[in-house]
Amino acid sequence: MHPISFIKMHGLGNDFVVLDTRGREAVTTPALAKALGDRNRGVGFDQLAEIRDCDHADYALEFWNTDGSRAGACGNASRCVASLMLDGRDRVTFATERGLLHAERAGDLIRVNMGAPQLEWAEVPLVREMDTAHLPIDGDPMAVGMGNPHCIFFVKDAEAVDLTGLGPKMEHHPLFPQRTNVEFASVLGPDHLRMRVWERGAGVTLACGSGTCATAVAAHLRGLTGRSVTVDVDGGRLQIDWQDDGVWMTGPVARVFDGTLSREWLEAV
């Protein structure tokens, strides 16, 4: 086992380990993701993103959660990786389990098109046919897919929600066969939301890109906001624009440090 280089990044406190394994075999396994995600014995992250070669896009991205499970989409990680790959280019395209996504610079920020929201029960997915706009769950949440499932509750005060109590219960709700991300949002104005999130396979995070997109879509479909909204999350602020070509998310990214996983540590995983 050879040492593996990595980059630590974050988007509004939603933090990631980025591995670039283009030109060789992929290295991430469930065991490696769990060990690397350990904030005491590894590096720590909300998600891991591995950059891979791709013959139908500029590159491919594979996402992993801290519990060793795969994540189909990760908006803030996509923006972080895009910031690394945009040198000398106006736009990059990457292939994910979600499909082909496009990212570009917006001044000092990075924006990514997360694609069209998935609003049919089988797309989210749910266990059976039902109205995704009003799930048969206390609190009247809405289900939206953004390459991964989301369950969005609109509440009077997102700050007052017991996120660590309600989040894991909803993540494993039987209506969601693949588990779900859980968002709690309150409306601050016709173009302004406050959102907190429990991420599937990761727990409480300071931001969730796909969750922010799903929440903005749900708010518009409920008639609470327009199609362009500012969303305040625990780690900062994202701008979401639901356009004809997909849901665009814009926000800051940061490259924190570069490092190397030692041979000794890797052999112990």
- Name the residue type at position 98: R
C-alpha distances out from residue 147 to 83, 96, 107, 168, Å: 21, 9, 27, 20
The closest alpha carbon to 12, from 211, 162, 161, belongs to 211
Cβ–Cβ under 8 Å, residues 75 and 183: no
Q: Count the neighbouring beta carbons within 10 Å of the beta carbon of residue 252.
A: 18
Cβ–Cβ under 8 Å, residues 10 and 254: yes
**Active site residues per annotation:** 74, 208
